[in-house]
Amino acid sequence: AQSVTQLDSHVSVSEGTPVLLRCNYSSSYSPSLFWYVQHPNKGLQLLLKYTSAATLVKGINGFEAEFKKSETSFHLTKPSAHMSDAAEYFCVVPGKLIFGQGTTLQVKP
């Protein structure tokens, strides 16, 4: 069965420092994988998606993620955090509508 595991429930960074949000997947084949962001009391917005094309995927707001089959990972990164990045982030297997448990990103001034 397919699943995703977000390795950190909470990540805290200082503004201007790099962000790393970790997602591992479990699947017998290379799945499509998406990252969504949810700001407080808002719906989810797609950040970026991997669909078996380029393994390094660039998304909105300076985020990117690299699909690594050997590590079964799809970690989300950003070189420099901004206060507006504070939100909940979900790693998702879109075809099966499987959501990770979410990672809360806190950005300190």
Cα–Cα distance for residue pair 73/57, rounded to 1 Å? 13
In the complex, minimum distance from the CB of residue 16 to other proteins, in angstroms, rounded to a whole number = 27
Q: How far is the CB of 47 from other proteins (least distance, A)?
A: 10
Nearest to 32, CA basis, from 60, 10, 57: 57
Q: Which residues pair with 61 in a beta bridge?
A: none
Residue closer to other proteins (CB basis): 25 or 34: 34
Q: Looking at beta carbons only, is 22 or 49 nearer to other proteins?
A: 49
CB neighbours (10 Å) of residue 56? 10
Binding region for other proteins (CB under 8 A): 32, 34, 36, 41-46, 49, 51, 88, 90, 94-95, 97, 99-102, 104
The least distance separating other proteins from the CB of residue 93, rounded to whole angstroms, comes to 9
- Strands 10-14 and 103-108 come out as parallel
